[in-house]
Structure 1
Amino acid sequence: MAKKTIMLVCSAGMSTSLLVSKMQKAAEADGVEAEIFATASTDADNKLAEKHPDILMLGPQVRFMLAGFQQKCPNIPVEVIDMQDYGMMNGEKVLREAVRAIDAQ
């Protein structure tokens, strides 16, 4: 299985950093090779160009940016993280969603 690059975007990049560490733990437990990172919405374009992620996941607070990112990234899935999973910092579930979307591509 190829390594998956998962990019999370939120307003400031702070709240998602906890989610990133929970997703990394879940990836290790599931044997998924993944590079998972978070960035602020203001720096998202730079990170897209630099990291070429396999999926872009938006925090619920930046869901209004969905259409814009879908236009910018026609070759990768762009999804909004489920608000409940985000609120509970359910890294396992968010990771599974990301892997499912990448594999479905």
Structure 2
Amino acid sequence: MKILLVCAAGMSTSLLVTKMKEHAANLGKEVEIIALPISECSTVADEVDVVLLGPQVRYQKPQVDTIINGRVPVEVIDMRDYGTMNGEAVLNRAMALHGE
């Protein structure tokens, strides 16, 4: 499974990626997680299985929806999970959106 996290600058998102990867390893799941700003998400739009937006860029969801064009699920990360860097909850949600 390949997950795209859409963020502003990527500082806090990189920490979330690390925590999500740790949880995936604990589950024995192979996941690839990419964190990119909105300006670059179209470069990988055809390669990802789930798109999650950081709460700070939730206003850009319509733009991401247009880029993804209904191909995969697009959702804003829960603000509490993002704020607490709860990689387990965020990864579990991504897997649920992907049907796992």
Q: Does 1:82 align with 2:78?
A: yes
Of 70, 92, 95, which residue of structure 2 is paired with 1:96? 92
Which residue of structure 2 lines up, in the alignment, with residue 67 of structure 1?
62
Moved over 4 A (4+): none
Matched ranges for 1:1-105 at <5 A? 4-49=1-46, 52-73=47-68, 74-103=70-99
Q: Shift of residue 20 of structure 1?
A: 0.2
Q: How many residues align?
A: 99
CA distance in 2, matches of 1:43, 1:15: 17
Aligned-residue CA RMSD in angstroms?
Answer: 1.3
User: Given that residues 13 and 41 in structure 1 are in contact (C-alpha distance below 8 angstroms), is that contact kept between their aligned partners in structure 2?
Assistant: no
User: Given that residues 50 and 73 in structure 2 are in contact (C-alpha distance below 8 angstroms), is that contact kept between their aligned partners in structure 1?
Assistant: yes
Aligned identity (percent) is: 45
SS across alignment from 1:53: coil
Q: Shift of residue 22 of structure 1?
A: 0.3
User: Given that residues 12 and 41 in structure 1 are in contact (C-alpha distance below 8 angstroms), is that contact kept between their aligned partners in structure 2?
Assistant: no
Unaligned runs of 5+ in 1: none
CA distance in 1, matches of 2:7, 2:73: 17
Q: TM-score, normalised by structure 1?
A: 0.88
